[in-house]
Chain A
Amino acid sequence: MATSEQMIPDRAPPITQIGPIAWLRENLFSGPLNTLLTIAAFYFLYLVIPPVFEWMFLDANWQGTTRNDCTRDGACWVFIIQRFEQFMYGFYPEDLRWRPNLAGILLVLLIIPLFLKRVPYKGWLALFILLVYPVIAYFLLHGGAGIEEVDTSKWGGLMLTLVLSIFGIVAALPIGILLALGRRSSMPIIRAVSTVYIELWRGAPLITILFMSSVMLPLFLPEGMDIDKLARAMVGIALFQSAYVAEAVRGGLQAIPKGQYEAASAMGLTYWQSMRLVILPQALKLSIPGMVNTFIELFKDTSLVLIIGLFDLLSIIQQANADPNWLGFDTEGYIFAALVYWIFCFGMSRYSLALERKLDTGHRN
């Protein structure tokens, strides 16, 4: 038996284990197959990127007012620039567009404090956003009570897309949470009702729900009673989305160990207290990826309102594509639509990652 009284000092690793050379070897050229794939991938990028870049930027047309100004080979961004306002607001009267702008700015200003660390009364602010803001937004966007009214048939573009998805997300969240709790309830009737609701709405495509809301629902309403088409679509989307939220939340609830429920009950908390203070904060954190996934889907799925004659971002771009003055610029239109959708979806995805990191308390169950 040998003993060593002296501690061996730490030594630096061999040079092949660290730095850019090691990284390249490890990740790009770790074997013959990998080397081949790396070369093939670089060749593919070489083929694709330069022409696309040329078309989009170097040869693109940025200046002018009509299609005749698009003289160069590249993309005709003049089309997008000329129609930009319409893509944002649809047919909302030009002189009133400050109202949706104000509603948007107000929302952003209200939401920012929620994300800052040391802001007091966050709970009240959140309640204000959930309960009071929608009323303000309604009067700003729609008017009424002395404010000039703008019929919802004139709403459109990105503004409509945002109205549909924000309403869908915000309204679906509380309904979804209640449904998820209901589905795990020990009371059979509540459990059955929640399960049936979730399975029914999840089993139908959004497009049929939109059809039902715009075509079928009026048949069941009494004569002369008419509900705004946009409102019907919003309710349909919110109810549809709540089924998905419910399943995402249920996933989170199931991941919470039984011991958490027991500890909460053992200290005398009531069912609703233990849900609100102990279980849901943890379960919602776990269901963030799933929920954001459905939110991103919803954001893109709102483009389906096209089939019931609402002009969201995508449908208004399609409509502009069909304008005889601008025929032949579909590609530019669709690229613009894709870019706008991507910015919002990528933003949501990044935000959810940041939120997961922020809520991480280093605990693994």
Chain B
Amino acid sequence: MNTTTRLDNSEDIVIMRNVNKWYGNFHVLKDINLNVKKGERIVICGPSGSGKSTVIRCINHLEEHQEGEIIVDGIEVGNDVKLIHQVRREVGMCFQHFNLFPHLTILDNLTLAPIWVRNMPKKEAEEIAMKYLERVRIPEQANKYPGQLSGGQQQRVAIARSLCMNPKVMLFDEPTSALDPEMISEVLDVMVELAEGGMTMICVTHEMGFAKRVADRVIFMDAGQIIEESEPEEFFNNPKSERTKLFLSQIIQH
């Protein structure tokens, strides 16, 4: 929109500066600083309760931060509802439990936001939806309901749903952790393709294979802080902090 002036001219599409957040007295995010460039692929990992989901949920203001600033695509995410909607339009998000709308068909799930948020004509929205359904390889499911699809298919639909808004950034909040093991790879394949297509991605995930393959940077969080941040090779082969070493040994043990 033309009412806002860009707060930043840099390449960074997401900027978090000294972000702090509390749930009541519990300090969940501590001085988070994170810059994400256009086209960059970030993987955030860490033990449960470390605040990694909270970080990405602050980016599109599903969670409110109390201190610091978050700038997405040049717009500050604060208390202004209009600006929040503007940011959300440009930021796609996939959830652990897919969160498809069970009362709508797959096609209607995909066209909902383009029609109501972008005011796109229905026909055009449907064409775009079919394009993305083909990209996640399930165009034949377009007229079914989410309840009729497997978990892996639902998550692929959820990814396609976000893509229909043509987002500048995609957030993934543990997209594979609710899936049966045999369905994980079909979702990861779609995510890898997306990464290779140049999408800016911030993924909270425990899929270390995925991190090694596509991430530009891996961020390790513990107890609400960013403990370590490095390229995947460095991160996995030569972790610096003790906590990172411990975490890596725990997840690779079995």
Q: Which residues of A contact B (CB under 8 A)?
A: 257, 259-260, 262-270, 273, 277-278, 281-282, 285, 359, 361-365
Give Cα distance in the complex from A258 to B138, angstroms: 27
**Min CB gap B153→A, angstroms:** 14
Give Cα distance in the complex from A99 to B88, angstroms: 55
Give Cα distance in the complex from A295 to B145, angstroms: 30
Contact partner, A268, options B99, B101, B165, Cβ 8 Å: B165
Asked if B95 contacts A259 (CB within 8 A), the reply is: yes
- Chain A contact residues, majority secondary structure: helix
Smallest CB gap from B97: residue in A: A259
* Known contacts A269-B113, A269-B116, A277-B116: A365-B62 contact under CB 8 Å: no
B148 at the interface (CB under 8 A from A): yes
Smallest CB gap from A262: residue in B: B62
6 A/B residue pairs, CB under 8 Å, sorted by A:
A265-B88, A267-B93, A267-B162, A269-B117, A277-B116, A282-B102
Chain B positions 168-186 with a Cβ under 8 Å from a chain A Cβ: none
Asked if A262 contacts B95 (CB within 8 A), the reply is: yes
Smallest CB gap from B90: residue in A: A268
Give Cα distance in the complex from A260 to B103, angstroms: 11
Give Cα distance in the complex from A270 to B84, angstroms: 10
B38 at the interface (CB under 8 A from A): no
Asked if A361 contacts B117 (CB within 8 A), the reply is: no
Give Cα distance in the complex from A278 to B99, angstroms: 11
Q: Which residues of B contact A (CB under 8 A)?
A: 60, 62, 85, 88-89, 91-93, 95, 97, 99-103, 112-113, 116-117, 145-148, 161-162, 165
Give Cα distance in the complex from A263 to B159, angstroms: 12
Residues of A with C-beta under 8 A to B95:
259, 262-263
Residues of B with C-beta under 8 A to A277:
112, 116
Residues of A with C-beta under 8 A to B102:
282, 361, 363, 365
Asked if A266 contacts B88 (CB within 8 A), the reply is: yes
Give Cα distance in the complex from A260 to B109, angstroms: 12
Q: A285-B103, A361-B145, A363-B145 are in contact. List 12 more A-B contacts (CB 8 A).
A: A257-B99, A263-B95, A263-B99, A263-B101, A266-B60, A267-B93, A267-B117, A267-B165, A277-B116, A361-B102, A362-B148, A365-B102
* Known contacts A265-B62, A361-B145, A364-B147: A273-B116 contact under CB 8 Å: yes
Residues of B with C-beta under 8 A to A365:
102
**Min CB gap B161→A, angstroms:** 8
Asked if B62 contacts A266 (CB within 8 A), the reply is: yes
